[in-house]
Amino acid sequence: MVSNAGFTEQVPLREITEDHYDRTFDLMAKGPLFLTQKMLPLMDSGGSIILVSSAMHYMGLANHSAYAGAKAALRSFVRTWAAEFKDNGIRANLLSPGPFPTAIMEAQANNSEELDALHSHYANFVPMLRLGRVEEAASAAVFLASDESSFMTGSDVVVDGGISNV
């Protein structure tokens, strides 16, 4: 089971509203928790839970309190579930991507010129000097879903070009 949902709105702490907080946590923390709960009956003989977070939960990026907090909650979930599911063969892991050209990034630009500038801006912060390719995140998810990661649970696979490490 893979849970991958998100949006980003850069909001300074002084301007966060309950509506913003609720929308953010409902989609990015509450949703994955209850999705996983509803999927558990289908995993009675084992399975792999993959929650997609963000490298942002490692970073202190201004104006991202609610986003980073919701994504950090996912980290806590997989650690807790790794302990909770230890006797039934279910593994729970996190995938934390860095900047990728996705719909979330596209929503931050008003036109293709702004989007190109945004891509360049984010790429300059990545030690590898580029955005990730969607196939790179997908390969990490396939790995976590496969038996190749059968000795992993409660882990966080960070696919971010090093941005959260420097």
Q: Is 157 helix (H, G, I), strand (E, B) or coil?
A: strand
Angle at Cα 141 formed by Cα 67 and Cα 36, nearest 5°? 65
Options 21, 58, 67, 122, the catalytic residue:
67
Give yes or no: 67 in active site.
yes
Q: Using CA atoms, how far apart are residues 119 and 105, in angstroms rounded to an integer?
A: 8
For 22, phi then psi, to 5°, come to: -65, -45
For 47, phi then psi, to 5°, come to: 170, 180
Show the tokens assigned to 66: 């609610």
Residues with catalytic roles: 67
